[in-house]
Structure 1
Amino acid sequence: MIAGSGLYALHRRFYINNIFKLEEVSTHVYLIWSLVLSVTGFPNLVEILSELKLHYTGLGKVALTAAMIIDTYNWILFTLLIPFSTYSSNAIYSVLSTIMFVIVCIVLVRPIITKFLEKKTEENELDEYQLLFVVMGLLLCSYVTDIIGTHGIVGAFVYGLILPRGRFADSVMAVSDDFGTGFLASIYFSGTGMRFMISSVFSHANWKLTFLVVILLCVTKILGTLFVTSLFGRPAKDGFAIGLLLNTKGALALILLSIAWDKMIFFAPTYAVLISAVLLMTMVVSPIINLIFKPRKRFQQTKLRTIERLRIDAELRMLACVHTNQHATSMINIIELFSATRLSPVYVFGLYLVEITNRATALVVAHMDKPTSQLGGQTAFTQSQVELENITFTFEGFGNRAGHDAFRVETTSLVSAYESIHEDIFNSARERGASLILLPFHKHLSNGNLLETTNSVYKDINKSVMQNAPCSVGIFVDRNLGSFSKTKLRILMVFVGGPNDREALAIAWKMARHRNVELSMIRIRLFDEPVEIESTHFEEARGILSYVMDEEKQRELDEGYISKFRYTAVNNEDSISYSEVDVHTSEDVPRVLKELDQNGCDLYIVGRGYYRNSKIFSNLLEWCECVELGVIGDILASNIFGSSSSVLVVQQYGFGGMEFGKKNSAKLIVKTE
């Protein structure tokens, strides 16, 4: 604000135009000018962070918190200083009247209106006609604050604060959001564009210096943020990015400019200079942040985040994604199997996935540790907040039950559109250095011991996560695995070959270190021919050769890892066993799995597998209902197979990216001479 006053003085000094005149110098001009520069558009910033998938990163959280604080002070300054900018003689009375209005609304009006509206909402008696009276209350409060000398938006803002949250707020937003933001706001702010005379900025001799002022207006907040972040030892790149994000302007800045125009505080040149600066500040944020951080391209493989390559004494960090509290309970049952000690602890991040509701408030709730009550102390949570509290209680209960610091648990919610929520999951996994992402299967166990679809969207999310995840991924099919209270829990690991199977074996091996776990590893040896594909094109032939060489390398890695497992684990642990079975045709696979299932186990651990070098699995892939589980995982999870055991399907980082929509591309392999 201080720098802004100096820049206004420069603007007056540089501007020379005989057609467009400048306003008279007054404290009102300096005040409005400085207020416009200090404003940060919090809802707009939330949208930018959401679009760039940065609001769950450390940078995004700092920017979000700072913007929330700035926006609060902006509203306070707006309420207190606008009367002094417009009604100097009676400004003190306007301010005192506004304070009294706020107190009356919160202390007297709010309890009455909240009790009435919540009762109507709970009894489903609130219809669109009654919501009309809610809108009339909005107009009444706006009219009152406008009469007493403050802007009408202050009354609307206070009215919004005193209304109850939860189902009522969702009902109001569903009815009014499209009309309010899509129609009324467009009409109001179209006046801003109609008053914007760009010729007044560039039609004088010193227009270059005026343009320099516009640039400097964009720089002041960045410089201030760089100074503050440097005091806290943050990198200059982060300070620049935070300052750039806090430059985002929104509705409040345009309302201030409209007030200045209507009250003839600003004339056309000053109005045009500030509008140019506001537009420039907001327009450049997304491209520059995207250029600096490349948030959508930073998930390229830099180092392998896998369980197979994790040191035995390293901390295992995993991300457990859930949609409901039932999923949270299931995830805890599988997480509890990981053998955690003080030498090799396990850090669990419970991530509650919530579909975005097109409101900035939803993203703010995502960053709250726990749901908070409204003013006055009465609790009124939305359904998502209640679910988050239950999930938090479930995960924290697991952490307390563990009884030592080997298991550490942290819970948060992630609010995003389901179409792009996988990118937010990637951000969270990368930010926390996770080696494993656990996902719930899109089906749940019904009373008839059959798996029924919970939500088909969950399946699409799982596929999207598996395609480009920054670490290994596991999909957990829960058939009432139950808590870890059994004397012995039997795990059966089915190994065919490839990186996904080695990752699955690494997870099973880690679980087998627990004293109450029995692990049986079954290796399926394939005796069939690869699929033959004729290729005469040079590039295709080179790709074929490269793939065949990679296959040979994978076989060598398989043999080495299994030898290590047999020598280190099987020979030294009575609770770990190893056996092999031969498979010659596609019909042998379900038969072998059926025989294994008859022996009984509590949990299958399998790799998702590509199996493109085998006719056996290429033929079976045609019949897969859930391609994301792979051939063996799909068989074990199917209702036709009839198993009562839970299944964990694992994909190793660096070997995902399957095109799920093209099954044929997932089964091709070539035979070379």
Structure 2
Amino acid sequence: MATNITPPNQNNEDFIYNQTTVKKFLWICVKENITNSVTSHGLFHGNDPLHYSLPLLLLNVSLIFILSRSIHHVLKHLHQSRTISYIITGFLLGPSVIGQSWEFRHELFSPKSTFLLDTLTLLSLILFLFNMSVKTDLGMLKKPSRIVISTFFLGSILPLILCCFLYMALKSSLPADLQANKLLLLLACRFSLSSFPVVTDILDELGLLNTDLGRTATTTSLLTDIVSWFLNAFIAATLILSTVESIIKCVMAVVSFGIYLLIIVFMLRPMILRAIKKTPVGELLPEGYFVGIVLLALATSFLTELSGYHAAFGPMILGLALPGGMPLGVTLKEKLDTLMSGLFLPIYLVLAGYRTDFSKLTDLKEWGFVELIVIVTFLGKIVGSMAAPLYYKMPWRDALSLGLMMNLKGIIEVQFLNSWGDTEMANIQQFSILMVSLTLTTASLTPLIKYLYKPTMRYNTTKQRTVQHSKPNAELRLLVAVHNEDNVPPVVELLEASKCNKESPLNIYVLHVMELAGRAAAVLAPHKKRKKNPGMTASDRIVNAFRYLEKQNEGAVTVQAFVALAPSATKHNDVCALALEKKVRLVILPFHKQSDGALATANATLQSMNQNVLAYAPCSVAILVDNRNSGGATCNHTNDLLHRVAVFFLGGCDDREALAYGMRMARNPNINLTVVRFVSRGDLRELEDEEWKKDNEMVHQVSRMQANNILYREELVEDGEGTVAVMRRMSDKFDLLIVGRRKNEESALTSGLSMWSECPELGVIGDMLSATDFEVKVSILVVQQQERVEVGGEDGRKGQPGITSNTLSPPHQGVQSQEESLRM
């Protein structure tokens, strides 16, 4: 088909197309029969696949995916975020490095192929923002702390004011294009704000999302984002008012957006909520509901685009109106998040880097003005974000880390830069300057944040929080961390056996630790009783079991319940933080393997959390291994209680802590406690070993006590094989065995056993007792005494400062002694 085209000149000026003046920067020419240019017949038929859309698209996607993942595999060891790795990939592919080759750009990244990729990735960005808005919990803003409000206000207003004053002072010196397009003011507004999706994503990568500072940063960024969305809507409405030709069109554009909001609130939201209520508890949304909700998100994108607003604005508002978590948030994560975040969004970031051209950075004056605004915004935001935390007595390292977190930039800022470039608000040089500034800023901040902020350091206490050193007849504070309903019955049995009386009560903190799924920000909050009860959740059933224990032992047991949503790799932060805040003396964790008859299932995430809690806990830790298969209804008390308890005592601080907890249990008259001390024949360590003397002193206190429910005995053994033989012979006589973890403690009593150990968190003895080939159906409690204590003393581990006292609170009146052969 012939058309009358006057070709453009080399300066990309306006040209004539069918007697019409056209203002267009780029024209893409394709065959008239476009369907024949999509797929190739193959090399053997004489076709070049790179001249066809589908093979070229597949090659581009594969190349970007492989190269970006390879670069991130290297840079992640330098604490770089995925966003930075993907942008750097774009730099490498762009005209500054590999793209200098005309053949490479013409064959692989021609305008036709990048046009297809741009369209595909913009669709992915819309769905990504919809997904993030669904996962956003606006309830975080119900009662924001003073630090959050003041950090938001000062951290946003101060850099903006500084940039405005700077702009007014330098306005007469600015180049003409910077004066005309207001780019510097838009830049100051955007870089003065923090983006919630960016902050949560990067903090998740750094493992700081569920720390105290991480929660402050995410809440502050969410508050900033909410305010910025209203500002963006106002600015968009203002732009519509300034661009439309008639007042009627202007009013229609604004009114149509208001009608859209009403449609969401009164039609779409109730319809989706009904679909969610029809989904069984604990299950994902059915396929039809999922597809329908995604289509509704795309439809709202189309409607807001018609109104003159950005296409992503509609899905974001719809997502904020919907509940996150189960089932909607989890369904989107399972079926949508991996494809969008793992494949298409990296392409979006790579293309943004690909557009950057370092060779265009020639105007040093313009570069200097843009960089000056970026630097002033950066410094002003750090100072503003630090001011409030410092006023509220936050340590300066934490305040500085918070200021750096508020300056993190990512995909939201890239989206704004792309928009400015597409609308020619920023020319290629300005776009390249901003992309380089964004990359350098975030690339330098992430390792600095990781270096400055170490949340585990706060778990180093100056007090001894152990059972052994608790005051006589004082309340015993325990923290129980459970993951599912199967963990509850054995823990309830242990707590029932550990109760004493109203004069020495148990204060139990129950923490239900769950995977962060379907939500963007981590949560650590008290469990709330719901006024309406549409259906019991797993958390409700777990808490009810402990509430029943409290009700049955009123005055002797008190329960406080909490819920934690956290990433898998950092669940231990919530356990340790709550243990520190509540000043507990013992954390009880379920073993990562659960036995169901002849089968045993392992949970690698739970094992990792247990190991991290053992390493960082500010108190003693115990791991409960349930080999008795005591599962059952969690809301009812079990009658299969623990009555016969034994402490296998080999010596060391962990064994002394295990013995202290056993003696605490012996205060319950329903418990029969047997203390078995293992002694190696011919061991004369008492002449030189302080640990042996401490063991003797503690066991001697037991021997002086008189109680009808306590039995003490000694077993002389030659080596580890003898220890195993005695334990195998005795273990089936008890319901619960309590042993020390004995980390890095070798002796003749355990010689030859460490080579068979499979679970180091249980120690040599605990691992041996819990092994399936040991064939003993008995629960095992493996105890580790507090490690992280910063005071000097006599009773700490080798190389660790620690315990200063060896007092043991007496249980009742005495002890029955059998085979008394104490080596005094």
TM-score of the pair, normalised by structure 2: 0.64
Tell me whether 1:581 sits opposite 2:708 in the alignment: no
Question: Quick one: which of 311, 314, 319 aligns to 1:152?
Answer: 311
CA contact (8 A) 2:522 2:565 kept: no
Aligned to 1:54: 208
Aligned to 1:545: none
Tell me whether 1:76 sits opposite 2:230 in the alignment: yes
Partner Cα distance (1:351, 1:82) in 2 = 45
Partner Cα distance (1:199, 1:120) in 2 = 56
Aligned to 1:44: 198
Partner Cα distance (2:644, 2:367) in 1 = 79
Aligned to 2:255: 96
Call closer, same or farther: CA 1:390–1:63 in 2, change over 3 Å.
Answer: farther
Aligned to 2:333: 173
The unaligned stretches of length 5 or more in structure 2 are 1-155, 245-249, 632-636, 788-795, 799-824
CA contact (8 A) 2:524 2:562 kept: no
User: How many Å apart are 1:412 and its aligned residue?
Assistant: 1.8
Aligned to 1:390: 541
User: How many Å apart are 1:631 and its aligned residue?
Assistant: 4.4
1:138-164, Cα deviation, whole Å (9 max, x unpaired): 332211101101111012223434667
- The amino acid across from 2:587 in the alignment is I
Partner Cα distance (1:101, 1:337) in 2 = 60
1:220-275, Cα deviation, whole Å (9 max, x unpaired): 33333334345545455444433332333343333334334444445567656655
Partner Cα distance (2:702, 2:562) in 1 = 34
Tell me whether 1:319 sits opposite 2:479 in the alignment: yes
1:591-645, Cα deviation, whole Å (9 max, x unpaired): 43355346x4332211123686545522344455555434443454345544443
Partner Cα distance (2:559, 2:644) in 1 = 25
Partner Cα distance (2:605, 2:682) in 1 = 37
Partner Cα distance (1:191, 1:20) in 2 = 29
CA contact (8 A) 2:508 2:560 kept: yes
CA contact (8 A) 1:50 1:416 kept: yes
* Secondary structure in structure 2 of the residue aligned to 1:88: helix
CA contact (8 A) 1:39 1:249 kept: no
User: How many Å apart are 1:100 and its aligned residue?
Assistant: 1.6
Aligned to 2:782: 649
Tell me whether 1:552 sits opposite 2:689 in the alignment: yes
Question: Quick one: which of 275, 280, 300 aligns to 1:141?
Answer: 300
User: How many Å apart are 1:521 and its aligned residue?
Assistant: 1.3
Question: Quick one: which of 345, 351, 356 aligns to 2:511?
Answer: 351
Partner Cα distance (2:737, 2:724) in 1 = 14
CA contact (8 A) 1:16 1:205 kept: no
Call closer, same or farther: CA 1:289–1:187 in 2, change over 3 Å.
Answer: closer
Partner Cα distance (1:206, 1:240) in 2 = 31
User: How many Å apart are 1:350 and its aligned residue?
Assistant: 2.7
Question: Quick one: which of 216, 230, 241 aligns to 2:401?
Answer: 241
Which residues in structure 2 correspond to 1:559-578 (within 5 Å)? 559-567=696-704, 570-571=705-706, 573-578=707-712
User: How many Å apart are 1:476 and its aligned residue?
Assistant: 0.8
- The amino acid across from 1:411 in the alignment is F
* Secondary structure in structure 2 of the residue aligned to 1:509: helix
- The amino acid across from 1:147 in the alignment is L
Which residues in structure 2 correspond to 1:20-39 (within 5 Å)? 21-24=177-180, 30=185, 32-33=186-187, 35-39=189-193
Call closer, same or farther: CA 1:250–1:366 in 2, change over 3 Å.
Answer: farther
1:361-399, Cα deviation, whole Å (9 max, x unpaired): 1544565855999xxx99799xxxx33333334344444
Point out the structure with max Rg over C-alpha. Answer: 2
Partner Cα distance (2:174, 2:617) in 1 = 62
The share of aligned pairs that are identical, in percent, is 27
Partner Cα distance (1:491, 1:175) in 2 = 49
Which residues in structure 2 correspond to 1:343-382 (within 5 Å)? 346-357=506-517, 361=519, 363-364=521-522, 369=527
Partner Cα distance (1:268, 1:83) in 2 = 27
Tell me whether 1:10 sits opposite 2:158 in the alignment: no
Partner Cα distance (1:612, 1:592) in 2 = 20
* Secondary structure in structure 1 of the residue aligned to 2:180: coil
- The amino acid across from 1:607 in the alignment is G
Tell me whether 1:332 sits opposite 2:486 in the alignment: no
Question: Quick one: which of 604, 609, 627 aligns to 2:742?
Answer: 609
CA contact (8 A) 2:505 2:555 kept: no
Partner Cα distance (1:273, 1:379) in 2 = 54
Deviates more, 1:463-472 or 1:65-74: 463-472
- The amino acid across from 1:581 in the alignment is E
Which residues in structure 2 correspond to 1:374-523 (within 5 Å)? 386-404=537-555, 407-418=558-569, 421-422=571-572, 425-430=575-580, 432-446=582-596, 448=597, 452-453=600-601, 455=603, 458-459=606-607, 461-466=609-614, 469-478=617-626, 479=628, 489-523=643-677
1:468-508, Cα deviation, whole Å (9 max, x unpaired): 55432211123267958799933221211122211101111
CA contact (8 A) 2:300 2:315 kept: yes
CA contact (8 A) 1:522 1:580 kept: yes
Which residues in structure 2 correspond to 1:265-304 (within 5 Å)? 265-266=425-426, 275=435, 278-279=438-439, 281-295=441-455, 304=464
- The amino acid across from 1:352 in the alignment is H
Aligned to 2:469: 309
Call closer, same or farther: CA 1:647–1:188 in 2, change over 3 Å.
Answer: closer
Partner Cα distance (2:354, 2:641) in 1 = 76
Partner Cα distance (2:306, 2:441) in 1 = 34
- The amino acid across from 1:154 in the alignment is F
Aligned to 1:629: 762
Call closer, same or farther: CA 1:170–1:437 in 2, change over 3 Å.
Answer: same
Call closer, same or farther: CA 1:110–1:574 in 2, change over 3 Å.
Answer: same
Deviates more, 1:265-274 or 1:518-527: 265-274
Partner Cα distance (1:95, 1:550) in 2 = 89
Partner Cα distance (1:551, 1:53) in 2 = 45
CA contact (8 A) 2:703 2:712 kept: yes
The unaligned stretches of length 5 or more in structure 1 are 531-547, 658-673
* Secondary structure in structure 1 of the residue aligned to 2:466: coil
* Secondary structure in structure 1 of the residue aligned to 2:783: strand
User: How many Å apart are 1:558 and its aligned residue?
Assistant: 1.0
User: How many Å apart are 1:345 and its aligned residue?
Assistant: 5.7
Partner Cα distance (1:198, 1:318) in 2 = 60
Partner Cα distance (2:773, 2:643) in 1 = 25
* Secondary structure in structure 2 of the residue aligned to 1:24: helix
Call closer, same or farther: CA 1:133–1:551 in 2, change over 3 Å.
Answer: farther
* Secondary structure in structure 2 of the residue aligned to 1:453: strand
Partner Cα distance (1:513, 1:378) in 2 = 39
Call closer, same or farther: CA 1:107–1:645 in 2, change over 3 Å.
Answer: same
- The amino acid across from 2:311 in the alignment is G
Question: Quick one: which of 378, 381, 400 aligns to 1:221?
Answer: 381
Partner Cα distance (2:394, 2:719) in 1 = 60
1:192-218, Cα deviation, whole Å (9 max, x unpaired): 445556788884359667644322201
Aligned to 2:85: none
Call closer, same or farther: CA 1:231–1:334 in 2, change over 3 Å.
Answer: same
Aligned to 1:596: 730
Question: Quick one: which of 618, 622, 633 aligns to 2:751?
Answer: 618
* Secondary structure in structure 1 of the residue aligned to 2:742: coil
- The amino acid across from 2:492 in the alignment is I
